[in-house]
Structure 1
Amino acid sequence: MGFAKMRVPLIYAPSEEMNIEQARFNMIEQQIRPWNVLDKDVLDMLLVVKRENYFPEEQKSMAFFDTELPLPGGHKAMFPRVEARVMQEVLVKKQESVLLLGAASGYLAALLAHAGRHVTVLEADAGLKALAEKNLAADGVRNVTLLNVNGLTAEQSGRFDVIVVAGGLNQLPEQLQKQLNVGGRLLAFVGELPMMRALLITRVSDTAFTSKEVFDTVLPLLPGATPASKFSF
C-alpha cells in the first residue's frame, strides 16, 4: 500500500526590503494622512524619496517612526508628518527655485529638490552641512547646493519662489519675505513653547504679502533666532 507524498507549504521569511516598504506604507497611512496630507503628488513623493537613506544604519528602522530622530551636535530631525505637511503647503513646482534654512539630515532638501528645479540650503552647523551633503550625494541628488552659513544673519542671496525655514523663530525676519519672487511662498515656524504656528506667507505683488496660519507644532529654535523679550517686574 503506497502513501501519497505530503506537500509541505513553503514558508518565506519577509525580506528586509518588504519590511521597510510596509513601514513606509504604515507611516503614510497612520501618521501622514491623518495629519491632513492628502495631496497625491506629495504622497507619491514619499514613496519615491526614501527617508531611510538619510539616517545611519542603526536608525534606518526608526526612520518611519512618529518621532524626531537625533542628529549630530544635539540637533533633531523633523517628524515625518511635519516634513510631509511642509511639502503640501508650499507645493513646489518643477520650474521653481527653493531656499531652505536648516539642512538637518538632508531629507527635506531631497523632497524639495525632487519637486523643484534647484534648492539652496543654508546651514550654520558645519557638521550638519557635511552630513546632509554626504546623504544627498549618496542618494544621487544633484540639484542641491549647500552653504555653511547662518541663513538668518547672512546677506541676501537672491530671489526664490519658495523659502522654507526648518527651525523655530520667535519672529519672522522681514529680509526673508523680501527674498520671495512675486507669487512665491515662505513657510516658517513662529512662536514660543509650548506651541508654534506654521505661517505661510505669499508675496502677491512687489509691496504686498498675505499670511495665514496653516498648522501648529513645535521645533527647536533655528541658530541665530532672536530670543523673545522677557520682562520682569
Structure 2
Amino acid sequence: MRRHMVEGQVRTSDVTMGGLVQAMRDIPRELFLPKAKRAQAYSDSHVELTEGRWLLRPRDFAKLLQAMEPRKTDIALNLASGRGYSCAVLASLVETVVGVEPDTAMLEKSSASLDHIGADNAVVIEGDIKNGAPDQGPFDLILVDGAVAAPSRSWFDQLSDGGRLGVFEMVNGAGRAVLYRRDGGAVGRRELFDAQPPLLPGFEPEPSFVF
C-alpha cells in the first residue's frame, strides 16, 4: 500500500527526490494515525487525527517538502507535528528535527512512534505553534503541518540565513503551498501549487467588517 501511494500519488505529482520518495516508501504511515483511522493511511486525502487536526494528504506533503530542498546538514522545525509522521520523514532527510505540538496526547503518541522506528534525531516538545521554538533555533527548515491564513511573524525570526519555511496559506477560500526563503535581512515569497489542507485551529482569517 505504501508503494502504491508513492507510485500513484507522489511520483505522479513530479516528486522525484530520491531520499524523500524512499522515506515515504519505508515509513509505516499507519503507525502515526489513531487505530480507527489506520485504514485511511494511504488514501489520497487528509486524515483527521483529532478534532481540528489532520495528517496532510501525501501528495501535498511531498510536493511542499521537496520544494524546501532538505539537506543532511539541516536543522528542521516541524510545527503542528501531530502524531509525528512529518517528523519521521524529515528525520531521514536532515540532521535534527524538533517538532512542536500543543496537544499533550498527540505529543506522547508521536514520541512513542518515533522511538518505535528508531528516529533518534527527532524530538517533539510541547509548545505554542505560533511561537515556534525560539530557544532551539535558528532553523534551516520550518515545515508547518496545516494551513494558515497568514504565517506567524515569529517563524521568520527563527529562520537561519538561507533558511526555508514551507506552509499552506488559505486566502478567501483558495489554498496555495508557499515557500519563504530568508537571505540576510530579507525574506522572499514564492507560491508553488494549489492545495486545500484544513486550517489549523487559531490560524483562521481575521473577521472583516461588513456593512
Both proteins in one fold, TM over 0.5: yes
- Give the drift of 1:78: 0.8
Q: Is residue 214 from structure 1 mapped to residue 192 from structure 2 by the alignment? A: yes
SS of equivalent residue, structure 2 residue 164: strand
**8 Å CA contact 1:203, 1:210 repeated in 2:** yes
| 1:170 aligned partner | 149
| 1:45 aligned partner | 23
SS of equivalent residue, structure 1 residue 91: coil
1:128 to 84, 99, 106: 106
Which is strand-richer, 1 or 2?
A: 2
**8 Å CA contact 1:162, 1:185 repeated in 2:** yes
1:92 to 65, 70, 81: 70
Structure 1 stretch 79-88 or stretch 217-226: which is displaced more?
A: 217-226
- The separation in 2 between residues aligned to 1:33 and 1:147, in whole angstroms, is 32
User: TM-score, normalized by length of structure 2?
Assistant: 0.90
User: TM-score, normalized by length of structure 1?
Assistant: 0.82
- Give the drift of 1:30: 1.4
- The separation in 2 between residues aligned to 1:191 and 1:56, in whole angstroms, is 27
Gaps of 5+ in 1: 1-22
Q: Deviations over 1:64-93 (max 9, x none)?
A: 111222213452211111221122111211
Gaps of 5+ in 2: none
Structure whose alpha-carbon radius of gyration is higher:
1
| 1:3 aligned partner | none
* Matched residue type, 1:102: A
SS of equivalent residue, structure 2 residue 120: coil
| 2:7 aligned partner | 29
Equivalent pairs, count: 210
SS of equivalent residue, structure 2 residue 112: helix
**8 Å CA contact 2:84, 2:114 repeated in 1:** yes
2:49 to 71, 95, 102: 71
| 1:187 aligned partner | 166
**8 Å CA contact 1:188, 1:198 repeated in 2:** yes
CA distance 1:227–1:153, shift in 2 (3 Å): farther
Identity %: 29
CA distance 1:75–1:175, shift in 2 (3 Å): closer
> Which structure ranks higher in relative contact order (CA pairs < 8 Å, sequence separation ≥ 6)?
2
